[in-house]
Amino acid sequence: MKCKYCSRRGEVTIPYARLTLCKEHFIEFIQRKVLRTIKRYNLIKPGDKILVAVSGGKDSITLLQLLSEIRKTINYDLYVLHIDLGIGEYSKSSRTLVESYTKQLGLPIIILELKKILGYTISEIAKKLKRPPCSICGIIKRYLFNATAIELKATALATGHNLDDIATFILKEFFAQNLTGIWKLQPYNESYKDIVAARIKPLYETYEEEIRKYAEFMKLPYMQEKCPYYKPTTLDNVLKQKIKEVEEGFPGITIGLIRRFIKNIDKYPRPKTSFLKCRICGLASSGEKCSYCKLTEKLLGEPMGYKTREYIKSLIKELK
Amino acid sequence: MKCKYCSRRGEVTIPYARLTLCKEHFIEFIQRKVLRTIKRYNLIKPGDKILVAVSGGKDSITLLQLLSEIRKTINYDLYVLHIDLGIGEYSKSSRTLVESYTKQLGLPIIILELKKILGYTISEIAKKLKRPPCSICGIIKRYLFNATAIELKATALATGHNLDDIATFILKEFFAQNLTGIWKLQPYNESYKDIVAARIKPLYETYEEEIRKYAEFMKLPYMQEKCPYYKPTTLDNVLKQKIKEVEEGFPGITIGLIRRFIKNIDKYPRPKTSFLKCRICGLASSGEKCSYCKLTEKLLGEPMGYKTREYIKSLIKELK
């Protein structure tokens, strides 16, 4: 079959859009789609300072490339954040890859090395605390993302969550009937005072499979292997797989869900919009101490939030 | 492995309840569970008049057997409704089976034969109107269920929807983001004046697989074959299959969803609670004419709601 827009051979078929495209027009299709998402939900404005979290996987590398490209259309500053979790060769390769690609794009990068900040890698912390590495990794990454965006005074933190991720999280919250939790799954989440940074998800309307194809066609350098702690049997991964299977039979059902969900958001019960301040580090917390301060206190006998913020501040100073 | 409650060999393992049971204790387990559902949601009270819709499939036959049995605990009247859709041998066998089993239980039965009421079978109507048989069947069955419950002055119409059905419908409405539509998926739905009959779903908390085992152990006579119009590729059936697959990896996730859903129901936007009256037949309608009157008018040049109600009335008189 031919490309819809030119005489070249079609290389990708996009069932939900009933489109067959050549490589070049597919690349254009994705770039336009992501720009449209950014404009539709007002994710980035001229003059913004965007911090993009880049692990080195296909989603975050694609996001980085696109955000770098889109600066030609909307004029904003772009900073890269990479966290070196210290998960053996996997983290080493990821870091090298992200560093070199960021350099190639000529962007400033902040690298937070867990071993330097806490004296331990994710694997070591999990072992010491006898807790699953993924739950610890979640707490630490969330904290470092937020703290870095705050210290940088970034307008927003951008993450590479794709359409399949979002649909998975929405469905997971629905299974748990956590209807207020669903609010955080919008393309844009507001900041709160100087303790929660705004978050944006520019790949919100882009299927994982589209991102994979795009990264392949653009020959983007990304980590092919998964984190060694990845398990296909977690609820998240099982739900994501099932959503993909439903999408196969009903092309467009996932993007349809997401679109209707955003239109409907006011019908869901609103979460509380106020946060407490952690009395150690001063960032958002659900109680007296934030989960990062609690976790690091258990690990080291001392809550590390404040010191971590000071360390990030010093790295940012060096940037300038 | 042994039965949890006696020294017999375990024949069923119920993963979500972490139970292994012998045949006898499994039967008791299901009977208790359904009785508990009935009491928990106040589905049936002493003195009620329950009309149970029985197609002849495993769910409705099991429901019929259980409702007949439970009359020993709660004293109520039970009537059976069967609709003969005229789908070839499938409908003939279903009808024979339901008639003979109802007779065996000593219960009164109302049989509505579509060919007698409208002059055509489901297959013929679908062909004449060039519409998918399942959508027509849905409209007609819903109407006849409601009309019969109203004419019989039944306290409620009972249907055999099981836990997997309910979870499927809830998820389907969620995919469509029809948050008000979700309200009708409760175990009990109220009547509205004399135009909508109350509905109850006593198998609300029972997995399809449990019902299958129960029907097998109890040697209940039910239709093994599916309706010839059944398609595994409809959205309903695909979603149901995926839910079963998720349940396999996460035993209890489906019943968990349903329990939390019921607790949460007030958090969903309420649907309008008023209905219009069809100006032909006087039953509930979303517009001037109800969908049954519109459908039959297209088919026969005359809306048949009023005549159908009169016919049902005459059948009920013969019962007494």
CATH code of the domain containing B232: 3.40.50.620
The pLDDT of residue B275 is 87
The closest alpha carbon to B290, from B190, B195, B191, belongs to B195
The pLDDT of residue B191 is 95
Put residue B105 in one of left, alpha, beta given phi > 0 → left and psi -120 to 50 → alpha.
Answer: alpha
| A312 belongs to a structural domain | no
- CA angle centred on A237, ends A232 and A239, rounded to 5°: 135
Residue B177 to residue A250, Cβ atoms within 8 A: no
Which residues are CB-contacts of A71 (< 8 A; sequence separation ≥ 6)?
A: A78
**B282: its two tokens:** 């006087």
The pLDDT of residue A56 is 97
For B175, nearest residue in chain A (alpha carbons): A257
Between CA A249 and CA A259 the distance in angstroms is 19
The closest alpha carbon to A105, from A6, A221, A185, belongs to A221
Residue A257 to residue B177, Cβ atoms within 8 A: yes
Residue A269 to residue B269, Cβ atoms within 8 A: no
For B269, nearest residue in chain A (alpha carbons): A267
Radius of gyration of chain B (CA): 20
- CA angle centred on A171, ends A169 and A175, rounded to 5°: 115
Beta strand spans in chain A (E): 12-14, 19-21, 49-53, 77-84, 109-113, 156-158, 188-189, 199-200, 276-277, 284-285
DSSP class of residue A271? P
| B12 belongs to a structural domain | no
Task: State the residue for tokens 């839910």.
Answer: B243
| A79 belongs to a structural domain | yes
| B184 belongs to a structural domain | yes
For B167, nearest residue in chain A (alpha carbons): A175
Entry pTM: 0.94
| A303 belongs to a structural domain | no
Query: Could you tell me if A60 and A53 are in contact, meaning their C-beta atoms sit under 8 angstroms apart?
Result: yes
The pLDDT of residue A215 is 98
The pLDDT of residue A1 is 87
Give mean pLDDT, residues B22-29: 97
Contacts of A262 in chain B (CB under 8 A): none
The pLDDT of residue B237 is 96
| B5 belongs to a structural domain | no
By the CB < 8 Å criterion, does B29 face chain A?
A: no
Contacts of A245 in chain B (CB under 8 A): 238, 242
Does pLDDT of B320 surpass 90? no
Task: State the residue for tokens 């579509």.
Answer: B114
Between CA A66 and CA A159 the distance in angstroms is 12
Does pLDDT of B272 surpass 90? no
| A181 belongs to a structural domain | yes
- Walk along chain A (320 residues) and give the pLDDT tens digit of each residue: 899 999 999 999 999 999 999 999 999 999 999 999 999 999 999 999 999 999 999 999 999 999 999 999 999 999 999 999 999 999 999 999 999 999 999 999 999 999 999 999 999 999 999 999 999 999 999 999 999 999 999 999 999 999 999 999 999 999 999 999 999 999 999 999 999 999 999 999 999 999 999 999 999 999 999 999 999 999 999 999 999 999 999 999 999 999 999 999 999 999 887 889 999 999 999 899 999 999 999 999 999 999 999 999 999 999 87
| Bridge pairing between strands B156-158 and B109-113 | unpaired
Contacts of B175 in chain A (CB under 8 A): 253, 256-257
By the CB < 8 Å criterion, does B257 face chain A?
A: yes
**B69: its two tokens:** 């049995």
Query: Could you tell me if B56 and B94 are in contact, meaning their C-beta atoms sit under 8 angstroms apart?
Result: yes
> How many whole angstroms from its chain centre is CA A261?
20
Show the domain range for A181. Answer: 38-276
Residue A306 dihedral angles phi and psi, to the nearest 5°? -60, -50
Residue A250 to residue B242, Cβ atoms within 8 A: no
Structure ipTM? 0.92
Radius of gyration of chain A (CA): 20
Which SS3 state, helix, strand or coil, does residue A224 take? coil
Instruction: Nearest by CB to A269, from B233, B249, B267: name it.
Output: B267
Residue A249 to residue B238, Cβ atoms within 8 A: yes
The closest alpha carbon to B221, from B314, B87, B96, B307, belongs to B96
Helical axes B305-319 vs B291-300, angle rounded to 10° = 110
By the CB < 8 Å criterion, does B265 face chain A?
A: no
| A205 belongs to a structural domain | yes
**A3: its two tokens:** 């490309």
Query: Could you tell me if A54 and A103 are in contact, meaning their C-beta atoms sit under 8 angstroms apart?
Result: no
By the CB < 8 Å criterion, does B260 face chain A?
A: yes
| Bridge pairing between strands B156-158 and B77-84 | unpaired
Instruction: Nearest by CB to A245, from B242, B257, B268: name it.
Output: B242
Per the model's pLDDT, the better-predicted residue between B271 and B118 turns out to be: B118
Which residues are CB-contacts of A239 (< 8 A; sequence separation ≥ 6)?
A: A168, A171, A172, A175, B246
Q: Which of A16, A171, A175, A260 to mutate to test the interface with B (most CBs of B within 10 A)?
A: A175
Residue B264 to residue A235, Cβ atoms within 8 A: no
Beta strand spans in A146-222 (E): 156-158, 188-189, 199-200
Residue A53 dihedral angles phi and psi, to the nearest 5°? -85, 120
Length of chain B: 320
Residue A267 to residue B179, Cβ atoms within 8 A: yes
Contacts of A177 in chain B (CB under 8 A): 257, 260-261, 263-264
Residue B239 to residue A246, Cβ atoms within 8 A: yes
Residue B242 to residue A242, Cβ atoms within 8 A: yes
The pLDDT of residue A273 is 75
By the CB < 8 Å criterion, does A224 face chain B?
A: no
For A237, nearest residue in chain B (alpha carbons): B246
* Domain count for chain A: 1
Which residues are CB-contacts of B104 (< 8 A; sequence separation ≥ 6)?
A: none
